[in-house]
Every structure is written in C-alpha cells, then in structure tokens.
Amino acid sequence: MRLQALRGAITCTEDSKAEIDAKTARLVKELFARNELAHDDVVSIIFTTTPDLTTEFPARAARTALGLDGVALLGAQEQAVPHGTPHCIRVLVHCYSDRSRDELRHVFLEGATALRADLAGAD
C-alpha cells in the first residue's frame, strides 16, 4: 500500500444546500467506486469551492451523507478567476492504495469535465 492522491471536480446548477450536498456525495462516491476505496483507506480529503457557492460546506455534506466522521476533512475557497469554472466543487483525496499512479482514476463530472478533458472519460 502506498499513499496516493486522487483529484476530482463536479459543477452545481445552483447555490443551494441540497445541490451542494447531492453533488458532493456523487463526486466522492464516484471517486471511491472507481478506485475501490473503503473509508479506512482514506487519510484526508480537501474540498474547495468557487466563490459563488456559499450555502453549504462540501466537507459537512461528505461527513454527514457519507459517514466520513473519522476522516480529516477540510474546506477552502478557490480564487475568483475570470475564466474559472463557475459553481464548481473540487476535491483532493489522500488515500492508501495498491494501485500505481497510472492506475488511479480521477473523476471530473458534468461541467467540470472541461477542467481535465484528458481524465474525464477515465473509468
């Protein structure tokens, strides 16, 4: 087992608690599924949101909806860049995995596929 880092992102259609909760859960579940991760494999997760998402913390959504109470979670805000992807939640997962870096499956969903088109179709 080796410490690895997984990246991902998803976009929201609106700034609402329900939307941020749902999109955060979808993104994290997809990352876990594509990489065959269990909760015990995860060391920490860092979430960022664009400045236009203000109604909920993705870390809170992950903690309550996915039962990640024992995992260190942190939230931060992305820079307000004029050409940035709006309504975007990004994630960086630190985890233990037997997979090599080439075998890791990063997850970019919905409008966030434009961030890493080279990785968006990977499964």
- What band does 117 get if pLDDT is binned at 50, 70 and 90? low
Nearest one of 22, 29, 62 to 44, comparing CA atoms:
62
Q: What CATH number is associated with residue 116? A: 3.30.1330.40
Task: Give the C-alpha separation, 57 to 39, whole Å.
Answer: 20
For residue 49, the surrounding DSSP H or E stretch is strand 42-49
Number of domains in the chain: 1
DSSP 86: S
pTM of the model: 0.91
Residues spanned by the domain of 101: 2-120
What length is written for the chain?
123
pLDDT tens figures, 58-84: 999 999 888 888 899 999 999 999 888
- Cα–Cα distance list, 76 to 13, 49, 51, 80, 102 (Å): 20, 7, 10, 12, 28
